Structure formats: structure tokens, C-alpha cells
Structure 1
């Protein structure tokens, strides 16, 4: 099992300083198109053909990560229907709400211009767990690899600000009931399959850093999952970035993160030229930092020396046993050969620096 002990990352009992992983999405192979999972009261998959195509895509995604040498694998969010950007349904916004009780789909269009093509789901009753949400992801990964991997999901605070509340009139209450439903989902998956790691994908600290309930909601989601490595990816955005988020945010995020039961903070560094590195001198000593050392915003493949230099800078403020490495954000919009090369150079640089310790 993957765990942290004495502020050190262990992967199935093996201590790995500068452990490498992948955050977010990975390019889909050409044969996988459209939505993979069903919704509402429908079947788990949209068709058997789509299930086969999806599990084959997982094999490709896992192969590229294993070839690069990642220590903790990811499903690369291969279920995300990202080809039709601007379509009415978006997996990030709608996969979880569509599976929960108390939420009505197909509300008004999103008022944010960047997302105006998507509708906003509406909370119309008490939010409850209704049916499996990520069983297909965990089951699929278990079928294609025996290596440790993490499940990536949108966190309850993030979901709370993406829904229109017509029932609670209290955003905190929405977030806490979302957290309770997701906690049920994760405990169920852990009981059936065993979970190595779960990663929250979250932009909410950029927008609601003064709201203490986001820490409360994240803690609620992970209750009773002490032996699962808990990761919080604070997202500055992929190629398009986040709306109205331009300034550095580490100082605010650290305060919120310190209040949680989450083990690892995953934060962008390379795309910001390591400008926030000094802020991590105040990083909680009982936590792990997973730093982005690969810039997902650029097609240019980093050189080995560039990545190694970035890792060495991080080691000036975080010891190697408390430092993990990843990209800044997902590689979904990058051509696959470039994405694979970026993962490879990250792992090669990590091995070089690890040999110097």
C-alpha cells in the first residue's frame, strides 16, 4: 500500500525520494472518442464497444507511464470526452453530479464566458450517493496494471462552486454533503478493489481561499481512508489557464492545505519559473510536496538539464524524502509523442538527481 510515514513517501513499502507521478489528463489514442461512462439510471458504460476501446486506451496510457519510469501511475482521465470542447456536457462539470441523488441536470447555461457552452447542474434536494461513479476507472486500471496508481476526482469544494444551489441556501452545506457522498464512493471502491492513492483536482483555493469550509469538506471526503495516499492538486489550469487567476497563490494555499488531513500538495512550479519556491520554506513539515517540474503549457520538450536544475532548486527548500515530482497540470492537449517525451525527461532527470543524494 502507498503511504506516508514520518513525512516520507513510501510506495508499497519502498522508500522513494523524488518519487514521480502524472497529474491530470493524458492524450487519448485515436480510436477512443466520445463519452465512456453512462449517467443517471443508465448502464455503467455507454456500450460494450466503448468499454473495450476505453480499457485498450488505459493500456496505452499505462504503457507510456511505465516506459518513462513513473513510480505512481494514473489513469490519465481517459474517460474524459475532451475532443468535443464546447459541447453541452463536460465530464469535469457533470460526471459526478449526474451520478448523485438530489441534483437535477440540464439547468441554465454557465454564466462564465469560458464555460458558457455548458449547463449548470442544480441542487434540488439533499445530496446523496446513488450509484457507482468511478468503479469503471478503478476496475479498468486493475485489469491493465498491477502497479500502484492514483484515482483523480474533482473535489467537493470545487463541485460546490460549480453547482447552482436551489435547496440548501448554504454553500458549505452543499460541499459537506458532496464530501459525504464522495466518501461513501471512495470507501466502497477501497473495500472492493483497494485504493493506493486518490487525487483531488481543484481550482477552488484560487477563488475561495477565505472560506474555511473547503478544508472541512476535503477532510470529510477522506474520513476513514487513513491508509490511502491523499493528494490535493491545486490547479492553475492547462493550456488555457484559469479565468482571472494570474498572480501567485502559494501563500494562501499553504494555509488552507495545512488544515487538512491530506498528505500531498501538488502545485505548479515549472510554468511559473519557480517564482514561488521561497514560499515553500514555510511548508508544513508533516506534509509532502509534489512539485510541477514539467511545463504543460509549452510544446517544447524540456531538456534533461533544465528539469534537473529545477529539481535541485526545490531541494534547497524541501528534503528529497518529502518531495514528489510531476507536470504542472494535465497533458491532454499535447500530442502524445510530446507528452510521452516530457514524462521521460522528467523521470530521467529525477533519477540523475536521486543518484546525487
Structure 2
């Protein structure tokens, strides 16, 4: 597999070792952005499309800068223009319609879409978002995109014979969007498939979807797959056959109880290890995060390890989200220094000549 990782090493990186640091995607929105949406939806106010677009641009610029200040090697705009990971894309895909809000957990709701006609690519989904973020950032930009299996599984299907048939059509649309993102200059694409670990018997469907998605993607474009929560033992090691460079996994929230799953067979891809628990507002100290990072070195050597939060940070207080990122980057840099000094022993996954 082509090394797609080294291109993200900063030119002035201080250490010989390099642990790529990034985030999964979502981030807390500034409170004033919620107010902007309220004004836009209030017919008594003159807050129009241009006003809302300006507010979204400002929010994206602000959060991108926040990611840079934390020290991340690869940034995201915090998904400031998105509301929910399925709903957002369904609004852009021909063939979907909405029938009302559905409760998903706690007090959280989303408009669960229905597929009422054959899905078709009607307009670009993320190209404008990427181009804006890329122009606003001095760092490389990652583009998270909801995968076709989750788009199919988390929708009501009123047209297709089954979820598999719908997922394959959606995979072709995701492929079209990624082609356009690559043409716009995107070098790091993350496919989000949270439905996979909750319905692991369908892992072959996800693999077939990924084959369709990456069919014509250039070799220098990094493709990751994010799978949060669930029982990874039901999809590992089979998932290693997926045509992706990196697997982004949520393990911190489970206190790394599933870590041994990935020791049964060599982890041949890159591992983006969740080292921050996004479900709690308590900020992990640097020393704790360093211990979490070392868990990843039990699975892969340093050149295959990416350091990331478990999942999106959007449900946390913004101050806590920022401090977690900042501590995570510091922890990664300190681990690199210790690796350079030969103070850390990597686990059984290290190359034989180490």
C-alpha cells in the first residue's frame, strides 16, 4: 500500500518520529451561530441567505483557526455547516424526503429521511466547504463524509429491495463526490460508517461499497474509515481487507477493553487510535493521554499510528474540546521525543528489524 501519511508531516516538525494528529470531524458550534440559524428561520427578521452564509464562513474560519492553535497536523472546520451526519447529506441527494424528527438518544433528535425514489447525484455536497476551509488554513484539511452503508441503514427505505441495493447506489454517489473533492485538491478523505459496528454481519456490504468508492481515487489520496463504538471482534480481522489506508476506532471510552482484539492478527493498515473520551467534559491530563497513545503502540509501530479523539467533539463544552485537543497534541509530541530517545518499547506489531 502506498504511503499516504508522510505528506502531512509539517516541514518544521521537531522530532524524527511523527505521530499524525487530527480530529474525527465535528466540534462545538459557537453559540452565536445557533442564534444566526434562529434569526434565519424567523420570518419576522430580515436575516437572509447572505447573512447566514457569512455567519457560517465566520464560524468555519474560527474553528479551523482553533484547530490550528491547538497544534493539530491535519484540521477540519468542525463541520460548522452540517447539522447531523445523515440528515445533512440526505438533503443534498435526489430521491430522499423528510417526514419529521425521530428521537435517537437522550434528548437528541434528527430528521430521519426516507428514500422515496432512486437516489441520484444532484449537486456537490462538500466541495465548497473543503475549498473554503483549505483557503482559510495553513494546515492540511481532512474531509469527513458519511459512508453509503450508514446513509442507507439510518434511513427509511421505501423503494429499494434491501439495504444492500440502496447502499451500492449511494456508494456510487459518494464516489462521484470524492472525485470532485480530489479534483479540488483534497488529499485526506474520511468515510464515516458508525452503522458498521452495530450491524457487523453486513461487513461484506461495507467492503463492496468501499471498493466502489475508491475505484478511481489517486494513490496519493489518504482514505480513512471511521467506525465508532460497537463490538470490533465481529469485524476484525476481516475489515483489514477493506481498501483504505487507515482505520479510526473508538477505544478510549471503553477503557481499551477491546485492545486485545487487534492483537490476534497483525494490524496491517494504519491505526487512528481514539485517545480522548468525547463523552465526558473532564479534560484528560497529558500524562494520561500519553499512556493512551502507548496502547496504540501495542498494536502498530509509530509509523502506522495516528492520534485522534474517539469521535466527534460536538457535544462537549467548547473550552473543554479545545483543551482536550491541545493536551492530545502535546502528549503526541512528548511521545515522539521519547521514541527518538529510545525510551519507549513498541509492542509485538513492530517491524522485525526494530
With normalisation by structure 1, the TM-score equals 0.83
Q: Structure 2: which 5+ residue stretches go unaligned?
A: 11-15, 41-47, 340-354
Q: Which residue of 2 aligns with 1:41?
A: none
C-alpha distance in 1 between matches for 2:25 and 2:213: 20
Q: Which residue of 1 aligns with 2:65?
A: 63
Matches within 5 A, 1:216-227: 216-225=208-217, 226-227=219-220
Count, aligned residues: 323
Matches within 5 A, 1:140-289: 140-191=132-183, 193-211=184-202, 212-225=204-217, 226-236=219-229, 249-282=231-264, 284-289=266-271
C-alpha distance in 2 between matches for 1:342 and 1:288: 23
Residue aligned with 2:179, SS = helix
Residue aligned with 1:185, SS = helix
Contact 1:215 1:256 in 2 (8 A): no
| 1:9 equivalent in alignment to 2:5 | yes
Q: Which residue of 2 aligns with 1:42?
A: none
C-alpha distance in 2 between matches for 1:202 and 1:27: 21
CA-atom RMSD in angstroms:
2.5
CA shift digits 1:138-185 (9 cap, x unpaired): 122022113211111111000111222222212111001101011111
Q: Which residue of 1 aligns with 2:297?
A: 315
| Larger Rg belongs to | 2
Contact 2:8 2:74 in 1 (8 A): no
Structure 2 CA distance for partners of 1:24 and 1:116, relative to 1, 3 Å: closer
Structure 2 CA distance for partners of 1:13 and 1:336, relative to 1, 3 Å: closer
C-alpha distance in 1 between matches for 2:21 and 2:139: 13
C-alpha distance in 2 between matches for 1:268 and 1:160: 22
Matches within 5 A, 1:130-145: 130-145=122-137
C-alpha distance in 2 between matches for 1:168 and 1:180: 15
Q: Structure 1: which 5+ residue stretches go unaligned?
A: 39-45, 82-90, 237-244
